[in-house]
Amino acid sequence: MEEYVPSEYVKKYFNYLMFERKLSDNTVLSYNNDLKDLDIYFNGDLLNVTYDQLVKYFASFDKLSARSLAHHITVVSSFYNFLLREEFITTTPCLNIVLPKIPQKLPNYLTEDEVNLLLDIRLITPYDYRNKAMLELLYATGLRISELCNLKVTDVDLVNCFVRVMGKGNKERIVPFGDVALKYLQLYINKYRPLILHQHVSDYLFISNLYKNISRQAFFKIIKKECQRSGIKKNVSPHILRHSFATHLLKHGADLRIIQELLGHEDIATTQIYAHLVNEKLKDDYMYHPRNKKE
């Protein structure tokens, strides 16, 4: 089997994704897999593809799940929007392509009471204070676990109460945090981080017992241990704290666009899932309305 070589316009598109949009390697690889199928199907003649041809092409993916097919259509549409914007074509064949309906899967999250239980850590060792500072900061900012693990001391402004985060696609954002996270960050940085380092030197904020930055796996184990201690039965991951951060903000009246900025979502549609989640909770709670009881 011959090795796949992208056609001219697919190469141009990938240069755009990597050097202008600065998407992550994993995202570019995902796009590559989708556009490879398109490129091969049309033998590289992508400028002359019609709507009817595309409909037939997408129909050939009848074994794909609705979610996977929707992703494939989105990637192809993005490619043709790029060609249109660069004036390689005068109209996009994707204009009237309809995405398949995807059953909505709402994210899991902790209630505010469960978060309080999780964060009620018994503080004895320097590592307890580190864990407390990490969890408080994660819940206060909604950072991704990779962003938290890669934070450096210089990324945290204790005076103005914000962290500088390098997110997906090397995009920087500023995320504020509140008084509780500030209190435990100050304690950890000023008193307990030096004890963990034992005169070793590191630029990273959260340090493991090997004097390196805490790993994703180690952080996951910390959350599991604290869930067992607090009696939380849910399968809690670091990402569930991110979901909890967004859900609780929205529940208390925060603007969806602000939450989008804080989370570092490129598309508001990604953030809108939390609006659905809060709406579902409201509908569940409405059953307690005195006029909602059926005769």
Question: Could you give the residue numbers annotated as active site?
Answer: 144, 168, 239, 242, 265, 274
CA 196/CA 99 separation, integer angstroms? 52
Side chain identity, residue 150 = N
Judge whether 7 and 48 are in contact, CB under 8 Å: no
- For residues 142, 256, 289 and 103, what is the CA-based torsion angle, rounded to 10 degrees? -80
Pairing of strands 162-166, 172-176: antiparallel
Judge whether 49 and 42 are in contact, CB under 8 Å: yes
Taken in order 206, 208, 212, 216, the sign of the CA dihedral is negative
The string of DSSP codes covering 41-94 is HTTT--TT--HHHHHHHHHTTTTS-HHHHHHHHHHHHHHHHHHHHTTS-SS-TT
Radius of gyration of the chain (CA): 24
CA 241/CA 176 separation, integer angstroms? 16
